[in-house]
Structure 1
Amino acid sequence: MTQHPTAQERRPANDGPKAAARNRAALMAAAREVYAEYGLDAPLSGIARRAGVGQGVLYRHFPDRAALADAVLEENVREVEQAGAAAGANLAGVLGVLTWHLTESAAFIGLLHADRTGDGTDDLHTHALALSERVARSLRGHLTGGHRLAGSDDLMLAVAMVSGAVTGPTREERERRALAAWRLLGVEVGPVRPVGG
Structure 2
Amino acid sequence: MTEQPGAEVRRPANQGRKVAARNRAAVIAAAREVFAEQGLTAPLSVIARRARVGQGVLYRHFPDRTALVEAVLEENVRQVEQAAAAESATFAGLLGVLTWHLAESAAFIGLLHVDQVAGRSGLGAHASALSERVQHSLRAHLPADHRLNAKDLELAVAMVSATVTGPTREERERRARDAWRLLGVEVGPVRPFEG
CA distance in 1, matches of 2:173, 2:94: 15
Q: Is the 8 A contact 1:38 1:107 kept in 2?
A: no
Shift of residue 146, structure 1, vs aligned partner:
4.0
- 1:1-197, aligned counterparts within 5 Å? 17=16, 20-119=20-119, 122=122, 124-152=123-151, 154-196=152-194
Shift of residue 39, structure 1, vs aligned partner:
2.9
Structure 1: runs of 5 or more not aligned: 1-5, 8-12
**Two-structure CA RMSD over aligned residues (Å):** 2.9
How many residues get paired?
187
Is the deviation greater in 141-150 or in 94-103?
A: 141-150
Residues 187 and 16 of structure 1, relative CA distance in 2, 3 Å threshold: closer
CA distance in 2, matches of 1:82, 1:33: 22
Shift of residue 102, structure 1, vs aligned partner:
0.9
Q: Is the 8 A contact 2:114 2:128 kept in 1?
A: yes
**TM-score normalised by length of structure 1:** 0.79
Q: Is the 8 A contact 2:40 2:107 kept in 1?
A: yes
The runs of at least 4 consecutive aligned structure 1 residues that moved more than 4 Å come to 13-16
Q: Is the 8 A contact 1:120 1:126 kept in 2?
A: no
CA deviation string 1:100-121 (max 9, x = no partner): 1111121211121113434389
CA distance in 1, matches of 2:129, 2:31: 20
Structure 2: runs of 5 or more not aligned: 3-11
Shift of residue 86, structure 1, vs aligned partner:
1.3
Q: Is the 8 A contact 1:96 1:191 kept in 2?
A: yes
Residues 99 and 127 of structure 1, relative CA distance in 2, 3 Å threshold: same
Q: Is the 8 A contact 2:164 2:175 kept in 1?
A: yes
| Paired-residue identity, % | 71
CA deviation string 1:41-99 (max 9, x = no partner): 32223222333444333222112222211222222111111111111322111001101
Q: Is the 8 A contact 1:39 1:110 kept in 2?
A: no
